[in-house]
């Protein structure tokens, strides 16, 4: 295992400035967020100009891109065209792990299975593994449902975000059944009353999580995903969580 950070930890900076800041904080690895609504890079841009997108992935100030997070918002068939372009970019950038979001609650289960199977097939064609993000308000918010989705879509894994099992509608739920499916992990600190709090003030059990991941020989990223808080020093928070996680590895 190793510690990484998402590119959205510094959302108000340019991509270049955010990378420089992460390098200054002694991060070595980055998860690049390719999101249409917010992202230093958007899926529509990847499809329109793949060479420019690849150039961005290679100009990373000594950081290694170890994962993509892709959120496409276009309607079909453009949806799958943009996603396929992101998979091709991942192959060119030598990125194996990609996080995707589940559909919103209320989506028919069979329709979600079909969508995920198509996405996994597109990823597999480029050597990319897809991890379904555990996220409140989406079909993967419940650990049991997330596990069933993985069982029904061969090759699909989980992008585990423990915060959603501390705060929100699934607070208190155990994510233990998802450990064996985990392809990627995202972390911050979270309390029962607030999705993100200062490091050390929440209830995320980092040590227990690392122990569980070791048992299944997880060897990928622990990706720090801290949004700026008005009352907190973002640089100090980023540094504290990196040092805490590294002390557990």
**pLDDT at residue 115 in the model:** 98
Class of domain 2-248: alpha beta
* pLDDT exceeds cutoff 90 at 231: no
pLDDT digits (tens, 9 = 90+) for 13-72: 888 899 999 999 999 999 999 999 988 899 999 999 999 999 998 888 789 999 999 999
pLDDT digits (tens, 9 = 90+) for 107-118: 999 999 999 999
**Residue whose entry in the numeric block shows the structure tokens 């841009």:** 45
Cα 119 from Cα 71, distance rounded (Å): 12
pLDDT, the chain, mean: 95
Q: Locate the DSSP E strands across the chain.
A: 2-6, 29-35, 64-71, 97-100, 129-133, 157-160, 182-187, 221-224
Q: Residue 157 in 3-state DSSP? A: strand
Closest CA to 32 of 125, 46, 24: 46
Average pLDDT over residues 84-103: 97
pLDDT digits (tens, 9 = 90+) for 127-175: 999 999 999 999 999 999 999 999 999 999 999 999 999 999 999 999 9
Cross-strand pairs, 187: 224
């Amino acid at each position: 295992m190793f510690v990484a950070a998402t590119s959205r930890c510094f959302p108000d900076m340019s991509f270049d400035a955010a990378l420089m800041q992460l390098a200054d904080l002694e991060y070595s690895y980055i998860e690049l967020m390719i999101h249409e609504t917010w992202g230093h890079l958007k899926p529509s841009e990847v499809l329109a100009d793949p060479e420019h997108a690849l150039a961005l992935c290679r100009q990373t100030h000594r950081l290694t891109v170890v994962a993509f997070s892709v959120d496409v918002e276009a309607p079909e068939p453009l949806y799958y065209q943009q996603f396929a372009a992101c998979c091709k970019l991942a192959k060119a950038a030598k990125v194996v792990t990609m996080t995707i979001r589940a559909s919103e609650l209320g989506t028919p289960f069979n329709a979600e299975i079909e969508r995920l199977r198509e996405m996994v097939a597109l990823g597999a064609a480029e050597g990319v593994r897809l991890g379904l993000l555990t996220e409140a308000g989406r079909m993967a918010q419940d650990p049991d449902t997330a596990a069933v989705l993985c069982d029904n879509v061969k090759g699909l894994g989980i992008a585990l975000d423990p915060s959603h099992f501390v705060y929100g509608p699934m607070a208190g739920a155990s994510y233990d059944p998802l450990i064996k499916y985990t392809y990627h992990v995202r972390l911050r600190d979270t309390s029962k009353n607030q999705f993100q709090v200062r490091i050390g003030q929440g209830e995320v059990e980092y040590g227990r999580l690392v122990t569980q991941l070791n048992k299944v020989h997880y060897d990928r990223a622990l990706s720090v995903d801290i949004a700026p808080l008005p009352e907190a020093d973002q640089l100090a928070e980023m540094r504290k969580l990196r040092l805490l996680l590294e002390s557990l590895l």
